[in-house]
Amino acid sequence: MEVLVRRKPTMLAIISDIHSNVEALTAVLADIANRQITQIICLGDLVGYGPDPKECLDMVLKHATVTLMGNHDYAVLFEPNKFNIGAESACYWTRQQLEDEPDPARRNDRWDYLGRLAIKHVMSGKDMGLGELAFVHGSPRRPINEYIFPDDVYNNPNKVQGLFERFGHLCFVGHTHVPGVFLDTPDFYSPDEMEGVFEINPTRKALINVGSVGQPRDRDNRAGYVIVDGKTVQFIRVPYDIDTVIKKVLEIPELDDYLGTRLKEGR
Ligand SMILES: [Fe+2]
């Protein structure tokens, strides 16, 4: 007897920049669970800034099939690089939280997980009818630390165009916390300009910033992530309980109050 196995069509959820915001991450994972997602990819910055590093690490460890190293993950593991005073203080506080875990097995699991994060992931998009897909935290040139800002298309067009030589078809990044799509013209399109949906051109490269789960900076305070199928990249926004996060931040002296209050404004 012939058995027909019908595989679920591949649909990726790509999340980034969670920054120890467990309320935002919980809301995003619940939203993902309501869709036909086959794989969750995380572009890094699991920790830093927010009040719940351990919980966020545990949730990403459980749900994401690929997780990459962000500059804040790197900072907690090794040392902060060009961090402002608030970010640096949050980094050392986060490190202490991980160190203070009383259960040695859990403590080691988390440090091991952070220590094993790759800086880049490349995979074939063939089963979605796409070319090669690349994933990094910052940029395809300097995966952990380079920022690609929307203004770069005016201020530094050569930089943006140079990045397009470094990936196959689509490249997904985080790091700036500003979602949108770069084309090689160079151009930048915010999700609003595309009504939240980017139509993938099968023969044209695009560099896509997936935005931030835990600290959006595009003046929309809802948690952000993207869904990719063979045809589109959808920019999703999910409301979450911001006031609870602010309250937690205000109660932790090592976390600058602004790390809480900025969440309300989405910046
Ligand atoms: Fe970040």
Per-residue model confidence as pLDDT tens digits over 165-183: 999 999 999 999 999 999 9
- Is the pLDDT score of 247 beyond 90? yes
- Is the pLDDT score of 159 beyond 80? yes
Residue 7 CA, ligand 1 centroid: distance in Å: 35
pTM above 0.85, yes or no: yes
Rounded to whole angstroms, the Cα distance separating 98 from 56 reads 12
Per-residue pLDDT at 7: 75
**pLDDT confidence tier of residue 1, bands split at 50, 70 and 90:** low
Residue 246 CA, ligand 1 centroid: distance in Å: 18
Residue 171 CA, ligand 1 centroid: distance in Å: 17
- Three-state secondary structure along the chain? CCCCCCCCCCCEEEECCCCCCHHHHHHHHHHHHCCCCCEEEECCCCCCCCCCHHHHHHHHHHHCCEEECCHHHHHHHCCCCCCCHHHHHHHHHHHHHHHCCCCHHHHHHHHHHHHCCECEEEEECHHHCCCEEEEECCCCCCCCCCCCCCCHHHHCHHHHHHHHHHCCCEEEECCCCCCEEEECCCEEECCHHHCCEEECCCCCCEEEECCCCCCCCCCCCCEEEEEECCCEEEEEEECCCHHHHHHHHHHCCCCCCHHHHHHHHCC
Residue 84 CA, ligand 1 centroid: distance in Å: 13
Residue 19 CA, ligand 1 centroid: distance in Å: 7
Residue 49 CA, ligand 1 centroid: distance in Å: 9
Residue 232 CA, ligand 1 centroid: distance in Å: 25
- Backbone phi, then psi, for 73, in 5-degree steps? -65, -45
